[in-house]
Amino acid sequence: MRRATRMFITAGIALVTAAGVPAPVSAADGKPRGGGKPCPAERVLAQPPFPPTNVNLFAPETYAQAPPMVPAPPRRITEAQLRVQLAKALLPRAKRHPGVVARGLAVFDDRKIKKIIPDPNLRAALASLVGGPSEVSVDTIRSGLYARVIFTALPPTTVAQVSPNAQGEPEILFNERYRFENFSLLGVTMAHETLHQDPAVGGMEEYIATTLHAGYYGQVLLEQPKLATGGTELTRRTNTLLMALMNTRDAKGRQSLTANRGNVFPGGKPLANFRSIYPADLGPATPGNPDLDAFLSAMTKTRQRNANFDQATADLLDVRLLWAPPEGRLRVAKLLQLKLPKGCPPWPQPKVPTQIPAGDQPAEATAATFVERPVASSPTSPLAATATVLSLLALLRLRRRHRAVPGKPRRRP
| pLDDT score at 385 | 40
Query: pLDDT class for 174, splitting at 50, 70, 90?
Result: very high
Residue 397 pLDDT greater than 60, yes or no: no
Mean pLDDT of 358-373: 32
| Structure confidence by residue, pLDDT tens digits, 232-248 | 999 999 999 999 999 99
Asked whether residue 153 is domain-assigned, the answer is yes
- Sign of CA pseudo-dihedral 46, 49, 55, 60: positive
Asked whether residue 353 is domain-assigned, the answer is no
CA–CA distance, 245 with 133 (Å, rounded to integer): 18
Given a contact cutoff of 8 angstroms between Cβ atoms, the answer to whether 143 and 204 are in contact is: no
Q: Amino acid identity, residue 122?
A: L
Q: Which DSSP helix (H) or strand (E) runs through 344?
A: none
Mean pLDDT of 310-333: 97
Asked whether residue 379 is domain-assigned, the answer is no
| pLDDT score at 347 | 55
Q: Which DSSP helix (H) or strand (E) runs through 71?
A: none
CA–CA distance, 251 with 247 (Å, rounded to integer): 12
Asked whether residue 5 is domain-assigned, the answer is no
| pLDDT score at 116 | 98
Mean pLDDT of 275-290: 96
| pLDDT score at 37 | 58
Return the higher-pLDDT residue of 165 and 409.
165
Residue 160 pLDDT greater than 50, yes or no: yes
| pLDDT score at 345 | 62
In 3-state terms, what secondary structure has residue 11?
helix
CA–CA distance, 45 with 252 (Å, rounded to integer): 7
Residue 84 pLDDT greater than 60, yes or no: yes
Residue 388 pLDDT greater than 50, yes or no: no
| pLDDT score at 408 | 42
Mean pLDDT of 19-32: 36
Return the higher-pLDDT residue of 26 and 321.
321
Q: Please give the span between the terminal C-alpha atoms of the chain, in angstroms, as a whole number.
A: 14
| pLDDT score at 15 | 31
Host domain of residue 225: 41-342
Asked whether residue 275 is domain-assigned, the answer is yes
- DSSP structure string for 166-196: TTS-EEEEEEGGGTTS-HHHHHHHHHHHTT-
Secondary structure (H, E, C), the chain: CHHHHHHHHHHHHHHHHHCCCCCCCECCCCCECCCCCCCCHHHHHCCCCCCECCHHHCCCCCCCCCCCCCCCCCCCCCHHHHHHHHHHHHHHHCCCCCCHHHHHHHHHHCHHHHHHCCCHHHHHHHHCCCCCCCCHHHHHHHCCCCCCEEEECCCCCCCEEEEECCCCCEEEEEEHHHCCCCHHHHHHHHHHHCCCCCCCCCHHHHHHHHHHHHHHHHHHHHHCHHHHHCCCHHHHHHHHHHHHHHCCECCCCCECCCCCCCCCCCCCCCCCCHHHHCCCCCCCCECCCHHHHHHHHHHHCCCCCCCCECHHHHHHHHHHCCCCCHHHHHHHHHHCCECCCCCCCCCCCCCCCCCCCCCCCCCHHHHCCCCCCCCCCCCCCHHHHHHHHHHHHHHHHHHHHHHHCCCCCCCCC
Asked whether residue 277 is domain-assigned, the answer is yes
Given a contact cutoff of 8 angstroms between Cβ atoms, the answer to whether 213 and 191 are in contact is: yes
| pLDDT score at 365 | 29
Query: pLDDT class for 342, splitting at 50, 70, 90?
Result: confident
Q: How far is CA 255 from the centre of its chain?
A: 11
Percent of the chain residues topping a pLDDT of 70: 74
Least confident of 10-14, 333-337, 401-405: 10-14
Using DSSP bridges, classify how beta strands 149-152 and 170-175 pair: parallel, antiparallel or unpaired. Answer: parallel
| pLDDT score at 369 | 24
Return mean pLDDT, the chain: 82
Mean pLDDT of 391-402: 43
| pLDDT score at 346 | 62
Residue 12 pLDDT greater than 80, yes or no: no
For the question of whether the overall pTM of this predicted structure is more than 0.85, the answer is no
| pLDDT score at 200 | 84
| pLDDT score at 38 | 63
- Sign of CA pseudo-dihedral 132, 133, 136, 141: negative
CA–CA distance, 108 with 36 (Å, rounded to integer): 48
Give how many domains the chain has, as a whole number.
1
Asked whether residue 68 is domain-assigned, the answer is yes
| pLDDT score at 39 | 76
Sequence-ordered list of residues with C-beta below 8 angstroms from that of 323, at least 6 positions apart, any chain? 215, 216, 218, 219, 255, 299, 329
CA–CA distance, 134 with 342 (Å, rounded to integer): 36
Asked whether residue 205 is domain-assigned, the answer is yes
